[in-house]
Amino acid sequence: MERTGGCACGAIRFCITGELLGTGACHCSDCQKMAGGGPNYVALVPKGVLAVTQGEPKLYQTKGDSGDDVARAFCPECGTPLWSIPRHAPFMTIKAGAFDDTQDLGPRMHIYVSSAPPWHAIPPDLPAFQKMPPAHPSEP
Ligand SMILES: [Zn+2]
Ligand SMILES: [Zn+2]
């Protein structure tokens, strides 16, 4: 299966192949900045399945709440956040909104809810974790 996506202005285009590992909403403070205040809706994919087919995203290097180095990719023209690559994890996350078709990308879990402001909606029927899920691959 192939999914395509890109930024708001169209300068960056990408595609991924294969199945998603999962979807989620991250409420960490970095994600709130990137998302403009809301949680960050992401799809989890293995590293190596993403191909940039047009343009060159800019990388913002930072440290995630996990302590790992994280490269956050965004379009240098329009600023759309695109994906994040934790250096030491076997996976990366792609913003749900970066995909052309977002219909099936609803979050299956909420993470870092300990950082969520009281007005973030966290539905009671989904798993919610204070930080990362315990079995998460990046958890030491
Ligand atoms: Zn753009
Ligand atoms: Zn986050």
Q: How far is the CA of 31 from the centre of ligand 2 (A)?
A: 4
The ligand that comes nearest to the alpha carbon of residue 77 is 1
pLDDT tens digits, 51-96? 999 999 999 999 877 788 999 999 999 999 999 999 988 999 999 9
41 — phi, psi (to 5°)? Answer: -90, 120
The sign of the CA dihedral 63, 112, 59, 86 is positive
CB 90 within 8 A of CB 47: yes
Strand ranges of the sheet holding 81-86, from the earlier edge strand across to the other edge: 58-63, 69-74, 81-86, 91-95, 40-46, 22-26, 110-111
pLDDT reading at 138 higher than 80: no
Amino acid at 41: Y
Q: How far is the CA of 22 from the centre of ligand 1 (A)?
A: 25
Mean pLDDT of the region 84-110 = 95
The ligand that comes nearest to the alpha carbon of residue 93 is 2
Q: How far is the CA of 78 from the centre of ligand 1 (A)?
A: 4
Query: What is 2-20+41-105's CATH number?
Result: 2.170.150.70
The ligand that comes nearest to the alpha carbon of residue 27 is 2
pLDDT reading at 139 higher than 50: no
Q: How far is the CA of 13 from the centre of ligand 1 (A)?
A: 9
User: Any idea which residue has 């977002």 for tokens?
Assistant: 102
Give the H or E element holding residue 71: strand 69-74
CA dist 32 and 83 (Å) reads: 14
At 140 the pLDDT is: 41
Mean pLDDT of the region 43-50 = 96
Q: How far is the CA of 26 from the centre of ligand 2 (A)?
A: 4
Q: How far is the CA of 54 from the centre of ligand 1 (A)?
A: 11
pLDDT tens digits, 10-37? 999 999 999 999 999 999 998 999 999 9
The ligand that comes nearest to the alpha carbon of residue 35 is 2
pLDDT reading at 137 higher than 60: no
